[in-house]
Amino acid sequence: MKNLTLGMLHPADSVSADREKGTWYRVSLQERSESGLKPGTTGWVTKTGLKPQMCMQLD
């Protein structure tokens, strides 16, 4: 299996993770990245490269 770099995430980018494999997460971009990646771009990111955020709905 070859490693392919699609691009780099910007610290302000918002992603959602849908799969975990060891210390890696498969993530998808929610909006266009500050670095130019298109919304919906999917790739693998190491766990140490992510900062968890919690979303809440307040009524």
Q: What is the pLDDT of residue 34?
A: 86
**Residues constituting the chain:** 59
Edge-first strand listing for the sheet containing 24-29: 15-21, 24-29, 42-46
Q: What is the pLDDT of residues 8-35, one digit of tens each?
A: 888 888 888 899 999 999 999 989 988 8
User: Which tokens sit at 22?
Assistant: 């060891």
* Calpha distance 14→52 (Å, rounded): 10
Which one is predicted more confidently, 51 or 39? Answer: 39
Which one is predicted more confidently, 52 or 54? Answer: 52
Q: Are 29 and 40 in contact (CB under 8 A)?
A: yes
Adjacent-strand bridge partners of 20: 25
Mean pLDDT of 30-58: 82
Q: What is the pLDDT of residue 19?
A: 92
How many of the other CB atoms lie within 10 Å of CB of 22? 7
Q: Can you give the pTM of this predicted structure?
A: 0.72
